[in-house]
Structure 1
Amino acid sequence: MSADHFFRRGLRPLLVFLSFFSLTSFSKSDELQPLLEFKSALQKSNPNVFSSWTPGNSTCSFSGIVCNSNGFVTEINLPQQNLSGILPFDSICKLQALEKLSLGFNFLHGGISEDLKNCTSLQQLDLGVNSFSGEVPDLSSLGKLKLLSLNTSGFSGQFPWRSLENLTSLTFLSLGDIVFEESPFPVEILKLEKLYWLYLSNCSLGGRIPEGLGNLTLLENLELSCNQFSGEIPGDIVKLKNLWQLELYFNFLTGTLPVGFGNLTSLVNFDASGNSLQGNISEVRLLKNIASLQLYENQFTGEIPEELWEFNKLVALAIYGNKFTGLLPQKLGSSQFQGQLPRSMANCTLLEYLDIGNNQINDTFPSWLVCNLHSLEVLDLSYNNLSGMLHPCLGNFSSRLSVLQLQSNNFHGTIPKTWAKGSNLRMIDLSENQFQGELPRSMANCMMLEYLNVGNNQINDTFPFWLGALSQLKVLVVRSNVFQGAIKSPEINYTFPELHIIDLSQNSFSGILPTKYFQHWNAMKVVGAKKLKYMEVNYGVGGLGRFIPFTITLANKGTMLKYEKIPDVFRVIDFSSNRFEGHIPELVGSLKGLHSLNLSNNVLTGHIPPSLGNLTNLESMDLSQNKLFGEIPAQLTQLFSLGYFNVSNNCLTGPIPRGNQLDTFQNNSFGGNLGLCGSPLSKKCGDFKYTPTPPYPFEENQRLESPFEFGWKVVAIGYGFGFVIGVVIGQIVIARKYPWFVKIFGKM
């Protein structure tokens, strides 16, 4: 027998057996310790997960552990388990057969050690949606990886893009929503020809999107939104025939849609909103499988293909904010179009989102359309020239409707009286029309309602106390109508517990201010928040999460100011320009979350309550045009955030308190009070010795810090801008240049 024959028939099988025996021996005696070390690092956050992880049990029976037929641990599956701690990769990577590590949607923190390089058998690594820190280590040794998901994981710094060259087996790559150091598009990705899923949204990429993406012919999902990409959409993107989702929104893209874009007939969702794209969109007429088409806020021109109205899978269409021409049958969205709504729109029976606001549409209320679209979640007909009466179906045509925006049209008559029980409506805006009659009591059936605005109409009614049963209602605006009479004490079930903003101004309300309501407005007593977020509606649109912010126009510093986004911590009471009488209730001082208080132009009497000094978040106070008397309380000098103050045209007397914000206001804040003296008025107080009003016993005065760290309070001390102006300035910055800010902080 030759030596070669002996090796092939004898020694090599023996070596294979010994190798297998060695590995089997490892699984039985050495895999327990790495798992127990993993348990030790994380078990305090959720002991129940690890209750089966005891030395007396087989490692393969541990919760979340999967073994192969030979008893080796191949998978650790513990996503969404509220786990917190630092991962011990020095232990994890001793599991030589480990192919899958799935720990997404937890609270893991700390860095990822270089020991990760020893997990050479890994095929799936999912650490997304956690709270890690530091940089992602080199991944070059993980050549077997097929899935890598680190999105929203908290990493920062430089990403090891170059190491992706070795990960040629990758099919799924998700790195979005991580604040990496700015870099151009990583060309290493263009070599990953097996990719079908690529998510790189909001991860600080810039420059041009390179040619070469078309070589990734297996791609089904491509998300590059919320970055700093410029230049044109690469032409070879039209080669991606399997693509069903393409998201490029909120970049700085220019040019036209690539020639042949219409050949991407598998597209279900296409969103390129918030760029500077131009030209005609005729290519989209071929995208017959499209369900969501979002091209708003670009510079597209020309006519919109009529074929869009024949797309029987379309659920969302938003193409406003462009420069389209022609009549309405060729467009949807905000431009300068005129004419009537096309009757062919009634074919779009699957529409969930319909926005044709901000146009010059001359038509009556389209009941022929609205009453047939039973899938609608969002209906926006605002800012047009629509007229006529609303159809009774409006209150119950779609149980899925969340947002109804009909403001700034010429609708008249009464508001429909039938609003169905079980309604999903969260936002109703009927303001700036010509509605008359009463506010229908059936609106109380809209138990999910958070925002109701019927301002600037001709509604003739008493205070809608019955809306106080809506436990989610945050914003109530009835300004500039014909509401009248006294606001009676609330019954136990009608207290408006979540009210943030109430505007009753410019009506004919009378009687004393509603002290009992103030007592129950608990949401106005809350100061600050852990995170900055906005009041908004989250709706589906074919499974794609979208948000519509609440907007509102409020009186501020004698002018009307529109807020395109309303911070959830914003609290406002505006009862101005009515016929309220009597004293300002002491309980107002308990509403410590207030940012704006306007009681001007009424017939209020009595003293200004010293308890108002407790409103340390207050930035605007207007008590002018009343019959208030007595001294201005010295406690108001504690209002460190106050940016606007007006007590003019009352019957106030004595010296004006000095100190802090009160030193920043001019004569017009105090004029029309013949008994007032001292700076800034020219009338001196002489030898009059002023004794400050003693601290008000209602509650101990205290300064409450704002939860925001953006420097608004510093500005307020010097110039009196404060949160109100800061929000407006912030919107300008956030809305376009930093969409990631809204995404991170606005949807928590």
Structure 2
Amino acid sequence: MGKIGFLFPLMVLLLLPPFGATLSAGSPNISTDQLALLVLKSHVTYDPRNFLASNWSTSASVCNWIGVTCGSRHLRVTALNFPAMSLTGTIPPHLGNLSFLAWLDIHNNSFQGSLPIELANLRRLKYLNFANNSFSGEFPSWFGSFTQLQSLYLDGNNFTGVIPSTLGNLSKLEILILDYNNLKGQIPAAVGNLSNLKWLILDNNYLSGHLPSGIFDHLPKLRALSLTWNQISGRIPNSLFKCKELVYLSFHNNSLEGSLPTEIGNLTMLNQLYLYRNNLEGFIPSSIFNLSSLQVISLGFNKLSGHLSPDIFDHLPRLLFLDLMSSQLSGRIPTSLFKCKELEYLYLSGNQLVGNMPSEIGNFTWLKHLCLDQNKFEGSIPSSLFNISSLQVIYLGFNMLSVGHLSSDIFDHLPNLRWLYLSGSQISGRIPTSLFKCKKLEHIYLASNQLDGTVPLEVANLTSLKVLNIGGNNLTGRFPTAPLSLHWLSVSENNLVGEMPSSICNLSSLLGLILDENNLGGTIPKCIGNLSSLLYIVLRKNNFHGKLPENFAKGCSLRGFEINNNQLEGSLPRSLGNCKDLELLDVGKNNLNDTFPNWLGNLDHLQVLVLRSNRFYGHVDNSKVTFSFTRVRVIDLSHNHFSGYLPTNFFENLQAIRERCEKKVKPEYMMDASADGVVYYIQNLTFTIKGLETEFQALLTTWMVIDFSNNQFVGEIPNSLGELHSLIVLNLSHNSLTGPIPSSFGDLSELESLDLSSNKLEGEIPAQLKNLVFLEVLNFLIIILSDLFLKAINLILLKMILTMGIWVYVDSHCQGVAVMIGN
């Protein structure tokens, strides 16, 4: 689950005074202003409510026009106010002639284009609000000309470039809000000259680099500082802790490093602290927990560690929100936490907390979100938790709990429950019927338990339910009736029987249908191809038979289609070509009878294609078809009846395998995340590797496989295979290939498994194999070379034996030579 946000409106920090007074008198001296405004009107191309068209007329005084305010002394335009009027247009340079203008507010419209430099003439300007428009171009350096400016709102536009150091000239500036633009570069040290600054909001840009060490030295009035969702690195400057009036501090989603300074305890007025998703490390300073004004502490997803002392929360009576997720914290939940009676949001997921879940959790009578999943808690779930009627989110899954049976009435007092995550909690027995009294439920995760019995019919009454994941249990009976609101249905790895009802096609918002490893049978409903919303269909390891649906409609959103290990027959439906986003197609181990699907080459996103163990036949290389398959990195055609030459054109188009993979610091898996918070991993794919059939629980994005084994291919192995530099597994065994092993195989620097056995190859082992640098880092590599006799172990191989620790084994049937290469 993505953590649900919690943010007090910044407007509670400051109250803006009203500005300007209205005067209706006209004057000849205002003609310049009138002309400028008429030009502005002509630049407005869309005025759906006719605010300007019906009101800005020369028959009336400018000072009576809607949104226009005049000063009483000089009878000149001093303020323009037309926010949220749905106006579209551009700003003309003539607006710079409003020389008495002090207030300009056009936020929440659709003005676009760049700002004319003539606006720099507005030297009296005190308040400028262009927020939430579509202005573009580089951030104007001439904004430094507005020496009287107190408030500057440019958020929600498309400004680019750097923040100009000329802003440091705005000595009277109190509010600077530039979030949600495309600004880059370092925050200029000149910002530190704005000694009257109270709000500095620069969120959601591309700002980078370190914060200048002294940037906060002269900002004593700063109350709100937010730099979230940027790329700022380095340490938090100690000068920040001189800002004693700071109330709101947010640096989350950056790359800050180092430890949290203990001086943070100097910010005695601090109310909200957001530092999550950085690279901060070390212990959490105890001084934070002495800030009695704190209502929000969010430090999750850093590299923090250590125990929390039992009394650490003694001085936080106003705490509403605590996030210490994924922080390597150990020990028990401090007992003092339960003194924070106003707590509403508690996130401690992904740590190493131990012990039983305290029954004192029931003291949090205002609690809305409770996330303690992925720790090492033991025992059962305290019953007091289920009496907190305000609870909306319960995340307790994947601890070391031994919950056992849940009483049938356990959910009776949770009318506001929306998310329930109890996967991996050793829950047994039946699903409690009281769960279906929680009418607001949107997400149910009860996977990887020992639940038995049938899926209660009452699940259909949860009309807000979006995700139902009850996979990996012992549930029996027939396919459950699902509510029409459902987005994800996972009942995999159970013992369900019967057919998939055609009523599944009534779920018009369904994104994922995960039914693998059951005993479901019958035919797949033909209407399933009409579900254009579906992203994933996983039906593997069931007993489905008959033909595949043939009506995948245009606009099909399918990304993954896994129907392997069934009894399906017929051909691949050509309508799958309408699924332009398809990434994975696995139809292995069925009875499909078709030619190679060249037409899939038009699917630009296809990465994994598995046709193994069917009755596919014919040539793969078709000169009449323009091959693509540029992103395919796993292709398994093994155990079919393909014939002819190996497809040279096909191999030459495998760009994803030809390119050398960038080494990742952390492994990345083929996955997808939806707006519902569901993360779907490509998993349980089976390949023959190093002579063994292996099932992968998850598929690395760097995994590159070609398996054409057990077919009827003839001719020589194409040299172009040696250009697939990222290939990890190559299996061409059990064909009728002839000729030598290409010397280009010496360029397959990532290869871990090569199987060429049971062919008719001849000649010597290429000397270029000594170039395989992976031998330095891999534990072993198996090469099986059928029909090569011991005499083929030539001087090159002998040299490898002596220098790299290779041993040779002739199998008991004398059918080939196995060479083990390792350190």
- Into which bin does the TM-score normalised by the smaller protein fall? 0.7 to 0.9
Could you state the TM-score of these two structures normalised by the residue count of structure 2? 0.72
Q: Secondary structure at the match of 1:169?
A: coil
For residue 787 of structure 2, what is the aligned residue in structure 1? 650
Is contact 2:565–2:589 with CA below 8 Å preserved after alignment?
A: yes
Matches within 5 A, 1:200-211: 200-211=324-335
Structure 1 372/62 Cα, relative in aligned 2: closer, same or farther at 3 Å? Answer: same
CA distance in 1 between partners of 2:525 and 2:438 (Å):
26
Q: Are positions 1:359 and 2:472 aligned together? A: no
Are positions 1:539 and 2:651 aligned together? no
1:106 to 217, 223, 230: 230
Instruction: Using CA pairs under 8 Å that are at least 6 residues apart, name the structure with larger relative contact order, 1 or 2.
Output: 1
Residue type of the alignment partner of 2:806:
T
Q: What amino acid sits opposite 1:217 in the alignment?
A: K
Q: 2:684 aligns with which of 547, 551, 554?
A: 551
Distance 1:493 1:223, change over 3 A: farther
Contact 2:447 2:471 in 1 (8 A): yes
1:434 and 1:98 map into 2 onto residues whose CA distance is 69
Distance in 2, Cα, partners of 1:477 & 1:403:
16
Q: Quote how far apart the aligned CAs of 1:254 are.
A: 1.5
Sequence identity, in percent? 35
Matched, 1:512 2:645: yes
Q: Which moved more, 1:204-213 or 1:277-286?
A: 277-286
For the structure 1 residues 445 and 47, does the alpha-carbon distance in structure 2 shift closer, same or farther, using more than 3 Å as the test? closer
Q: Is the 8 A contact 1:176 1:203 kept in 2?
A: yes
What amino acid is aligned across from residue 166 of structure 1 in structure 2?
N
Instruction: Kindly state the Cα deviation for residue 59 of structure 1 after the two structures are TM-superposed.
Output: 5.5
Larger Rg: 2
Instruction: Determine which of 248, 255, 275 is the counterpart of 1:150.
Output: 275
The SS at the match of 2:744 is helix
Written as runs of structure 1 = structure 2, the 5 A alignment for 1:158-307 is 158-160=283-285, 162-184=286-308, 187-189=311-313, 191-277=315-401, 278-282=403-407, 283-284=410-411, 286-307=413-434
1:381 match: 515
Name 1:667's counterpart in structure 2.
809
The Cα offsets for residues 629-678 of structure 1, whole Å up to 9 and x where unpaired, read as: 1111011122243633333332566334235587424314898579x9xx
CA deviations over 1:281-315 (Å, ceiling 9, x no partner)? 34235434433322112211222113445654433
Q: 1:50 to 1:113 in 2, by over 3 A?
A: closer
SS at match of 1:260: helix
Partner of 2:702: 569
**What is the distance in 1 between the residues matched to 2:396 and 2:675?**
16
Q: Distance in 2 between matches of 1:51 and 1:63?
A: 13
| Counterpart for residue 322 of structure 1 | 449
TM-score, normalised via structure 1 length: 0.78
2:173 aligned counterpart, secondary structure: helix
Indicate the residue corresponding to 1:91 in structure 2.
215
Q: Is the 8 A contact 2:670 2:700 kept in 1?
A: no
**How far apart, in 2, do the equivalents of 1:658 and 1:284 lie?**
72
Letter of the structure 2 residue corresponding to residue 664 of structure 1: I
- Contact conserved, 2:491 with 2:514, CA < 8 A, in 1? yes
Match of 1:334 in 2: 472
AA paired with 2:421?
Q
**Alpha carbons 2:209, 2:233 under 8 Å: kept:** yes
Residue 489 (structure 1) shift: 3.3
Letter in 2 for 1:163: S
Matches within 5 A, 1:560-709: 560-641=693-774, 643-651=780-788, 654-656=792-794, 657-660=797-800, 663-668=805-810, 672=814
Cα distance in 1, alignment partners of residues 687 and 205 from structure 2: 44
For 2:343, give the aligned amino acid: L
8 Å Cα contact 2:399-2:424 kept in structure 1: yes
- Specify the alignment match of 2:553 in structure 1: 420
CA distance in 1, matches of 2:812, 2:629: 34
- Pair 59,285 (structure 1): closer, same or farther in 2 beyond 3 Å: same
Instruction: Give, in angstroms, the shift of residue 218 of structure 1.
Output: 3.1
* Cα pair distance change 1:389/1:65, threshold 3 Å: closer
Higher fraction of helix:
1
1:328-356 alpha-carbon deviations (Å, 9 max, x no partner):
439933122322234xx33x322222211
The change in CA–CA distance for 1:93 and 1:492 in structure 2 (over 3 A counts) is farther
8 Å CA contact retained: 2:305, 2:330: no
1:586-614 deviations in Å (ceiling 9; x for gaps): 00010000011000000001110000000
**Aligned partners of 1:98, 1:89: CA distance in 2, in Å?**
16
Aligned residues: 630
Choose 119-128 or 180-189, whichever is displaced more: 180-189
Aligned twin of 2:161:
48
- Deviation of 1:617 (Å): 0.6
Residue in structure 1 matched with residue 247 of structure 2 by the alignment: 123
Amino acid at match of 1:248: L
- Following superposition, the deviation at residue 223 of structure 1 comes to 1.4
* Structure-2 change in CA distance of 1:680 and 1:151 (3 Å): closer
Structure 1: give runs of 5+ residues left out of the alignment: 1-26, 36-45, 682-715, 719-748
Q: Which residue of 2 aligns with 1:452?
A: 585
**Alpha-carbon deviations, 1:221-276, whole Å to 9, x = none?**
22111100112222122333443332222111112221133333343332222112
